[in-house]
Structure 1
Amino acid sequence: MASSSFFPTPPRVNGSNKPRMSNGLPVFSSAVQEKLHRHSAGPLFTLITLPIPGVPGRRLRVPVINPARLQQCGIRSGRKRGPVLLCLAIFAMIYATFALAKRWGSHEKQWPTPFQGPTSTLVFKRDDLQWIWEWEILSGHYPSSRKIPEEIGFTTTPINPALPPKKAPTIPLRFRPPFVTNTLGIGPKRVYLDIQSRPPNVAYPPRPVPGSVADLDVLMEYCDFSKKKFVRDCLEVLRLGAGLDNQARLRRGKMDEWKYIYAEQGDVNWALNVTTETPHMGKAAVQGHLSATEQDSSSELTKKRGAEWEPRPDLRAPLKYEPFSTLPSPCDDENLRVFHMFWAGPFTDKPYLALLSFLFTQNVGLHLPEDRPDTKVCRPQFWLWINPGPAAAVPNPNARKDMYDSLQANPWAAPFLHPRFKDVVHFKLWNTTEQLDGIPELKDEWRAMRDTLFNSGGVIVNVPAADEKAAQEEQETTQEETVESEEDTTTAAKASATGSEANPDDPLHRLGSQSADTYDRMSVILSDMARFVLCHRFGGIYLDADTIFLRDWEELWGWHGAFAYRWSRLEKYNTAVLKMNKNSALGTFLFRTALKNGLDFHPMTVSKYTKDAYLEELLLRLPDALFDSAWLNTEWFQRDRPPQPYFTDFADFFDTPQQNSASPAALGFDGFFKGAYSYHFHNFWWKPFDPSRNWPDLGPRFAATERIARTAVEADDDKEELVADDKRDLDWATVLKRTFEAYIRGERPNMYGEWIQW
């Protein structure tokens, strides 16, 4: 009784069952209640108060981990989750500390923590990036209304001679961004074209209008995967806007919104070259702001760790943009229309089909008399760059002669040495030393990086010094040999043509990809760099050798900017198609940046170069629907509404699934991703396009080379061929090969209804 009167039961407060005395000590009615209270241990965090110096009567409340929970979760033995929760709590506190430091600390402070992620590749200051943007825009290489990143920090509006004038919206001062993100168009007027075949000539689509331009802003609106656009719908816009739906006008209604090809009318109005500074951040205001915060002009840019800022890029004067209609001739030195392709190893059916598709689709004038070409058209050229030996080898002085000897002896290559193709198909000898010395941004420094020359995505393949010495000795020995018999030359050429000199077991000396297990990785790495070298030196468009043309590229040539295309679902580049201008500011940026980042030209790495420098818009990332329409389907995307044909694997191109095997022969070329500019079949170098007729079938004019190919596959040239002997279900690869060959034989016109004239 005495104890009961001394510890009276207090009333329930705020719904809590935990009784407390006036002195704050807990009182429990039973041992069970006390045990439950001890196991609950309260919240994970509790508050403590600390005095604030210089502020009497005020205390700072700081959240800390509840010691009781810490003891319960982390200290007691036998609890598996305790250490995990303790580590997570410590990690959270450290992360919060560095996050706050990064947000509120000095921009010049470097925090060497593992939480920063991948390091920056940037080596140019903001002023230099502005100069690169200004050069490209003023040269007419940005015919787009897409926004310039605010991080570039423009305070005046750049003039854009490739963009027509547009009435700027009146925005109140308080709503305007602090930096300029648009350009001032002073270019010629754009007239969007209604391209379609006119009766009665509707059997084939019309050729694009010479000098026409594709508005890639419109195509991004209808084709961008980031905006949940379907490849199927994109292809329909592509073919309707270009008049490729000549035989099936299925859509009804006004289709102005789907017009994406335009012609320029008039000239550049240079009198409109009047710009004003943004009222928010004029130059004086910017300098005052920066001095007040003790920051330089590149303070918010993350420089590559351990690298020095690059000096101001040495660029030539900006080009004067001239519309196509004002040019004295359709082709000029700055806009030479050259398709580049790089090839290593023996010439096979892969570059053979790429060249045939080029002749079948592009406006090369083979349908006109050779002495009367169309003077209003700029004829594109195809430059096939041949790497004569393994990527790590040094070419010998006779390499050019050896190259032509091997091409002449190769049945897949010999037809393109015919005089009829001499103006549009050119074989070029690749020499790595010569090419790198031809790049001003690299020629004085690349030799110091010979050990990392073969670098792709940070994976470096070292060429042993012994191999380089042996290659050099071999070259010197070849120089001393002055007499070589014609028989030996022919034998060497045939060996190179058949690939018998390649060693598939030696990755460093491998020449060409003979199978999935003997992949020529060295040549692939070299080609990653070669495409940028060729486009920067000569201008033009580079394509991987596993690319097939599907339509005329006239309007893509008319768009003077640079582009690659999207890596499937990722916001990265795939440079299997790459367009760049000759000696451009963008090219200078890429080579100087690559030089400070191990000469790495892997498309993923190039994506980081442009992203870190806010130059992604200068190398536009086009939707892969334009050049690689099957990619998303092969990665399990958009399979609910796939395009035609429906590939779930890139191998379906060579081995069409049986349930879809009626489509290739029934639909033919017109049923193959119609609307796309090209198709990329992603390697498969070792799979023949036409297994049952694995030779060039180009008719009597090329019978000699066909006979050599037939002999190589042990096919009887004298046996009468019967259609019953052919494969019953033709694959897509076979149908495309035979379609292009029929055009060269003169048995059908090309895709635009033009017949070849020999």
Structure 2
Amino acid sequence: MVSSVYFPNPRQNGFRDKGRKSTLPSYSSAVQEKLEQRAYKSWWIPVFLPLPGVRTRRFRVYIPNATRIHQSSIARFGRKRGTLVSCLALIFIILTTFAFTKRFATKSKQWPTAFVGPSSTLVFRRRDLQRIWQWEIASGHHPSRKDIPDGIRLTVAPENPALPPRKGTMPSHLKPTSGPVQVHTTGVGQRRIYLDIQSRPPNVAYPPRPVPGSIADLDIVMEHCDFSEKKYVRDCLEVLRVGAGLDNGKRVRRGKMDDWKYIYVEHVANGTYEPPPIEFEPSDTDVSDSGLSKKRGVDWEASPIALPPPLPHRPYPTLPQGPCDENHPRIFHMFWTGPFTDKPYVSLLSFLFTQNLGLETQDDISDIICKPQLWVWINPGPAAAIPTTSATQSLFEELKHNPWSSPFLHPRFKEAIHFKLWNTTEQLDSIPELKDEWRNYDLFVSGGEIYSIPQRKPSSTESAAGKTSSEDDLFNRTGSKSSQEYDRLSVILSDMARFVLCHRFGGTYLDADTIFLRDWEDLWGWKGAFAYRWSRLPKYNTAVLHLNKGSALGKFLIRTALRNNNDFHPMVVYRYAKEAHMEGLLLRLPDALFDPAWLNTEDYQRDRPTQPYFTAFPDFFSTSGVYSAQPQALGFEGFFRGSYSYHFHNSWWTAFDEARNWPDLGPKFSAAERAARIIAKANETSPDEESVADDNRDLSWATVLKRTFEAYIRGERPNMYGEWLQW
């Protein structure tokens, strides 16, 4: 049989070339040569795998051709170097395969959407989406002139009790008709009177309280504040403070400012009012699901969606049981994990300093104003821990002995601030949309990433030392002690808690790293749901979230999150709303209202920055030397004036007041102060009043705000509206 061999190329002088070797192949037979030549040409070779249960068919999989890679490497780099390159390529392929298997081949991992494309999150049919919109509009939860999305495909324009009738003759293209898709609502509500709010002589030192029952027209706010329309935060804050009278006698003449009036009251003619009869579901709607993309691998939600009768929309003066609307309770929710610290302490002080709680008088004024409440939900242990039967009693014992929390247990604040134990099982079992199914899904999911709780039994060595591995530390943290020891699971739990609490009890959730900057009376008047914008991105940040109690929108959000494996991350919630055409019901407010420094910290709008000017969130706690005179000179009144709140984004481990890191609330709370001062100055035996020389020369914004709120509690100054705390 013919065989092929090769000989080294001789040099012209007849000697063997030791520096180079021929790369021509040798074969033992013609058959081997043909097979090798065929394999050499293709980069991929097929491998046939048996299919379970199918004997006549095999599954074909293509894998890289090692021979082709090897021969190509030899031809390009020589035999030794080519072989080395081939080996390195093989090792790289093995390690890459192992890494991908480790990262994505378990239940708790998912393939990146960049490779496979994002799957739809939608689980509701169009008929149910229509019913959700109709229910919210009929209940007065859409007090906006913004269009209903085309994707809802209503063929009858809904009647809207939260909007007044349009003035004059309605253009033909806006008139409600049947047949084509309708994107407008028909206003059947009360006339709006927009208020000119400003201080009047001689009371011009402080701004006036908002008018009870007043409402913020967030359509107007969006016109002046929407980042998508290239509106500056600085200009938005001016509109917000002028429209609310927060310039308190210091107003600079700007000409006619009627366009900046965004706060109104509903006018009830003759003092009598009957809620208009609202038809909940029109008889003729387009119920085709064309254009909707259902979530892969799941069934549609049971249709039609079960909803209660719409809530009657009642203007503030016509509420039958006083100034509070039982269907829209004024409850602020906060969620906290672990021991109470100076962070929620300052948030609670700012609540007392700004909100209309009746603390300026000893008389009960509940029949005049609707006083908001702040419910602080505390999860005392790790996020994955189950509370014991004595957890509530232990919680209040700890709050009582904690110097940062004990002042808020004073009877003067008992109607305003309520501490509550968070129990995950009890909360989820109290939500009809969750109780029967939530155990079938994962609990700690954020942005598609699953954190499975390990069933771990510590070894005797670890038990004796009282230590756990770094992986288990994630499941045993109670609060974030540093950027390296971040309590990720508690953050994920709080993402879920805000939706559960607002849907179950109603109200507004705020992260505990939030400081109140003004009265929220007019925001309570707006009955629609809202969160705010994620900085420059057109997505939600649910650090502030308002939902109505038991609403159709809340049912949609919770059921959609459940069917998407209990994922409540705000970026994913944005997808829920967008893919279901629900963005108009969960209004995305500009972050100027709640987070006015965010755009500047991300290098936006620095040509016309806000006051104060933060280039990073830590600037709040450590003000740059260039601007270090501002906090003391301007004080609370110079801190993002006009904004409803300020979100300082974590920094749980940074003290508000480094030099006086204790609650400084005066003689009524001296025991708590004494205990905290001893802890703060552990090396001193006597916590006597320190000298001014012991204080920092330049005070940060965080320090100035803390000391301002504490001065109000001590009775040394009034609150932001000129009211003195009465004990």
Assess same fold via TM > 0.5: yes
Q: How far apart, CA to CA, are the structure 1 residues paired with 2:612 and 2:477?
A: 35
Q: How far apart, CA to CA, are the structure 2 residues paired with 1:639 and 1:174?
A: 44
Q: How far apart, CA to CA, are the structure 1 residues paired with 2:372 and 2:596?
A: 24
2:318 aligns with 326
> 1:718 deviation in Å?
4.3
1:108 aligns with none
1:170 aligns with 171
> 1:505 deviation in Å?
7.3
> 1:547 deviation in Å?
0.2
1:364 aligns with 357
> 1:372 deviation in Å?
3.0
> 1:333 deviation in Å?
2.1
1:314 aligns with 306
1:376-525 alignment, distance < 5 Å: 376-449=368-441, 452-466=442-456, 506-525=473-492
1:141 aligns to 2:134 (yes or no)? no
8 Å Cα contact 1:504/1:511 also seen in 2: no
1:195-210 alignment, distance < 5 Å: 195-210=197-212
2:36 aligns with none
1:730 aligns with 699
8 Å Cα contact 1:504/1:514 also seen in 2: no
Residues 418 and 467 (structure 1), Cα distance of their counterparts in 2 relative to 1, 3 Å cut = farther
Q: How far apart, CA to CA, are the structure 2 residues paired with 1:505 and 1:625?
A: 39
1:607 aligns with 574
8 Å Cα contact 1:627/1:678 also seen in 2: yes
The match for 1:179 among 163, 178, 181 is 181
Residues 175 and 618 (structure 1), Cα distance of their counterparts in 2 relative to 1, 3 Å cut = closer
Residues 307 and 688 (structure 1), Cα distance of their counterparts in 2 relative to 1, 3 Å cut = same
Provide the aligned length of Structure 1 versus Structure 2: 600
8 Å Cα contact 1:502/1:511 also seen in 2: no
2:121 aligns with 121
Q: How far apart, CA to CA, are the structure 2 residues paired with 1:501 and 1:325?
A: 59
Residues 209 and 396 (structure 1), Cα distance of their counterparts in 2 relative to 1, 3 Å cut = same
1:537 aligns to 2:511 (yes or no)? no
8 Å Cα contact 1:633/1:639 also seen in 2: yes
User: In structure 2, the residue corresponding to 1:578 is in which secondary structure?
Assistant: strand
1:597 aligns to 2:599 (yes or no)? no
> 1:175 deviation in Å?
14
8 Å Cα contact 1:548/1:678 also seen in 2: yes
Q: How far apart, CA to CA, are the structure 1 residues paired with 2:618 and 2:293?
A: 43
User: In structure 2, the residue corresponding to 1:542 is in which secondary structure?
Assistant: strand
Residues 691 and 274 (structure 1), Cα distance of their counterparts in 2 relative to 1, 3 Å cut = closer
8 Å Cα contact 2:275/2:312 also seen in 1: no
Q: Deviations over 1:269-289 (max 9, x none)?
A: 766969999xxxx949x6xxx
> 1:465 deviation in Å?
3.3
Q: How far apart, CA to CA, are the structure 2 residues paired with 1:672 and 1:376?
A: 30
User: In structure 2, the residue corresponding to 1:609 is in which secondary structure?
Assistant: helix
Q: Deviations over 1:9-30 (max 9, x none)?
A: xxxxxxxxxxxxxxxxxxxxxx
The residue type equivalent to 1:138 in the other structure is A
Q: Deviations over 1:154-176 (max 9, x none)?
A: 10010100111114632369999
The residue type equivalent to 2:536 in the other structure is R
1:659-698 alignment, distance < 5 Å: 659-698=626-665
The match for 1:637 among 604, 617, 622 is 604
Residues 428 and 274 (structure 1), Cα distance of their counterparts in 2 relative to 1, 3 Å cut = closer
> 1:588 deviation in Å?
0.6
Residues 390 and 720 (structure 1), Cα distance of their counterparts in 2 relative to 1, 3 Å cut = closer
> Normalized against structure 2, the TM-score is what?
0.79
Q: Deviations over 1:373-398 (max 9, x none)?
A: 25210000010001021001110000
Q: How far apart, CA to CA, are the structure 2 residues paired with 1:501 and 1:197?
A: 60
8 Å Cα contact 2:161/2:276 also seen in 1: no
1:159 aligns with 159
Aligned-residue RMSD, C-alpha: 2.6
Sequence identity percentage: 65
> 1:341 deviation in Å?
0.1
Q: Deviations over 1:661-684 (max 9, x none)?
A: 000000000000000000000000
1:259 aligns to 2:261 (yes or no)? yes
User: In structure 2, the residue corresponding to 1:155 is in which secondary structure?
Assistant: strand
The residue type equivalent to 2:184 in the other structure is N
Residues 172 and 723 (structure 1), Cα distance of their counterparts in 2 relative to 1, 3 Å cut = closer
For structure 2, the 5+ residue unaligned runs are 1-74, 77-112, 459-466
1:9 aligns with none
Residues 315 and 594 (structure 1), Cα distance of their counterparts in 2 relative to 1, 3 Å cut = same
> 1:258 deviation in Å?
0.2
2:549 aligns with 582
> 1:247 deviation in Å?
3.4
Q: How far apart, CA to CA, are the structure 2 residues paired with 1:639 and 1:589?
A: 39
> Normalized against structure 1, the TM-score is what?
0.76
> 1:178 deviation in Å?
3.7
8 Å Cα contact 1:188/1:269 also seen in 2: no
Q: How far apart, CA to CA, are the structure 2 residues paired with 1:502 and 1:752?
A: 52
Residues 273 and 139 (structure 1), Cα distance of their counterparts in 2 relative to 1, 3 Å cut = closer
1:146-295 alignment, distance < 5 Å: 146-167=146-167, 169-171=170-172, 178-266=180-268, 283=284
8 Å Cα contact 1:141/1:562 also seen in 2: yes
8 Å Cα contact 2:156/2:176 also seen in 1: no
1:527-566 alignment, distance < 5 Å: 527-566=494-533
